[in-house]
Amino acid sequence: MPINDAEAVKKRILNFLERNGASLPVHIAKEAGMDMIFTSAFLSELISHDKIKVSDMKIGTSPLYFIPGNESGLEKFSDYLKGKEREAFNILKKENFLEDQRQEPAIRIALRSLKDFAKPFEKDGKLIWRYYLINEDKYITSQEKVLGAKPDISIKKEEVIKEEIEIPEVYRLEIEGPKAEIHEEEIRPKKKVQKKKSIPKKASKEKSDKFFNKVKEFIIKNGFEILDILSFNKKDLLLKVKKDENESIIVAYNKKKISEKDLLDAYKKAATYGLNYSVFSLGETPKKMKGLIDAMKKMDSFEKIE
């Protein structure tokens, strides 16, 4: 393709994104008058030169492309978010800012997945999420509302003008009672015991996030669609997924060796939802465990002889 023609194609793509905002590659290809392979090549080149950006979210299996500065166009695709990610998006959009530690575990994990819409920053040692269209500096003015803090209604001494009124001794005794003897140690100010601030375990959080992202990438790669994040902690992850129109449960363990107890726990968790389930772990299935699983698959029933 001649250089002039290539430049013309790139210009058409940029003009299209400028007019329409965030768009799917199939629509861009139609505008460019080219097939997806060539269009993808042009999109990659434009990304490498910082002319366009690509979203983290996927519509089906395709990301969205947009002009830097036109991120607001991503919002119209938020309806494609599912389960806890959709719930977390709605909460964040309503509140503008969310303190990570105050959210339930599933919402905390979902916020980490909303890379297009949830932007993290630290304030006073706390992890805060902001809605991507809201500037970080606005958090200062809305901090009391976000954290549920009570307004400071204390009054400075210099702002209060005290009018001293002399009360006769006889009336003072009726009102206040006799003066108590005050010892020196009672008026001596007590030292405040400062509570040690708990330091968030960033390493542990990063490890948990890494585990979640690893599981997410693996199951999406294998054709699963995440419908909901049912539970999540540093030890295991429970997801509701769909593949080939069939819903099921995935129980992922953040360890290399799983035990019979882990399998039983996975079964119990999936049973509460009445769905079939799969078990994932970071290591190979032990031979002893694999034999037991194969045996259970082929067993029709277990009967007691009377």
Tens of pLDDT along 18-31? 999 999 999 999 98
Provide the domain count of the chain: 3
Same domain? 258 vs 288: yes
Its domain, for residue 211, covers 202-298
Q: What type of residue sits at position 108? A: R
DSSP-derived letter for residue 61 is T
Q: 164 lies in a domain?
A: no
186-212 residue pLDDT tens: 445 555 555 555 545 555 656 667 788
- The whole-number pLDDT of residue 89 equals 96
Is residue 115 classed as helix, strand or coil in its secondary structure? coil
- The whole-number pLDDT of residue 91 equals 96
CB-CB contact of 222 with 239 (8 Å) = no
Q: 41 lies in a domain?
A: yes
Q: 276 lies in a domain?
A: yes
CB-CB contact of 138 with 96 (8 Å) = yes
Those residues of the chain that have pLDDT short of 50 are 1-4, 146-187, 199
Q: What type of residue sits at position 92? A: L
Q: 66 lies in a domain?
A: yes
The DSSP H or E segment spanning 220 is helix 202-221
C-alpha 233/C-alpha 105 separation (Å) is 7
- The whole-number pLDDT of residue 206 equals 65
Same domain? 247 vs 289: yes
